[in-house]
Structure 1
């Protein structure tokens, strides 16, 4: 943990605090006028990004997940429900996006599993794209993210598939 001090103009405060929170885990931002009275001093307690290694560990988040084919059926059922009149809700949409991204991640992790290596190779790119789309939707949605939010630079430095694993593990634990 460390302290960051930034001297800036008042209009720059929101942009600076947002930028710091995407790179570090930050606490409350304290403000004081600078000596010249024209600028503001910001003091932020920060820490390095949380350890995302547990979420990027291959397969670990899916130990308690249902079998892949059962999950495929569940994702398809969710998709059909969402497209029926009155079936759309933000919660159901998020669950669909999450479970779809997690399913694609699991297929990509299978190294071909029952469907062959060419499918697994395509699944890598598809899983990465679905994870980015899920994180982007979460960044504007109204939900309670896991320990590391979707806007954290930590995921961009590792993989958004780790974010999917984090959120899926949390979702699965709440079922």
Structure 2
């Protein structure tokens, strides 16, 4: 089981790292990639049955990122993890704004009213009905005890409404 989780995460990290494998990447995007990948090493994930993750609703609206402005919002939310180090935060934003949207990996942003409040990356393995929900981040002004759990629940509801059949979810260890 742990090998399967590691494989999903390695694939996601490789996909993200490849976003700056272009002819002339900016030095800032390369530095941001390295910071991002280093931070990923300390995160822990587990596999849980989908129904066990359904909790109370929190977010007003879950949005699939499907144009560049939303990619920027996603990137800024993700970079808040480095908010106490503004230079690193800028580098991570530079890296993540290079993301080219794909069918394989989806970016999601959660809104409270018109304010971006949460973001994550998702990948659905249709054949195995396994959903990877990674890079879950909550905007600092919305961080409370169960917000990560509730945002994952909101995204799962969004996916169900949109016809996605999911039996289990790989997600960050909550708590």
- The TM-score with structure 1 as length reference comes to 0.24
- The TM-score with structure 2 as length reference comes to 0.24
Higher relative contact order (CA 8 A, sep 6+): 2
Q: Which structure shows the higher helix fraction?
A: 1
Q: Which structure shows the higher strand fraction?
A: 2
